Amino acid sequence: MKLSEFKAETEGVVKTLADDGKFISRITSIGMSEGARFEVIKNDRNMPVLIYVRNTLLALNRKDCEKIEAEVIA
């Protein structure tokens, strides 16, 4: 599922990132890489998605969230 589809207070793990080299370079430099565990803090419509990953709170725009495939951790 896309990161933008996660509900608040849901934990997940990144499975794949889009194959755009510039995007991958930028997103991995802020801590999002394949296998990274995260928690969605806030996901309101038309607002950036707030996630907590590797001891850092990130705000990702929805376009970027569409390029990140992840799965929910039970």
pLDDT digits (tens, 9 = 90+) for 22-68: 999 999 999 899 999 999 999 998 999 999 999 999 999 999 999 99
Distances (CA, A) of 67 to 20, 40, 74: 9, 16, 22
pTM: 0.90
| Ramachandran quadrant class, 9 (left: phi over 0; alpha: psi -120 to 50; beta: rest) | left
What pLDDT, on a 0 to 100 scale, did the predictor assign at position 19? 80
Residue 74: is its pLDDT beyond 80? Answer: no
Mean pLDDT of 2-27: 93
Whether the CA torsion 31, 36, 42, 43 is positive or negative: it is positive
The residues, any chain, with a CB within 8 Å of residue 50's CB and separated by 6 or more, are 40, 41, 42, 43, 57, 58, 59
Superfamily of domain 3-72: Ferrous iron transport protein A (FeoA) (2.30.30.90)
What pLDDT, on a 0 to 100 scale, did the predictor assign at position 36? 96
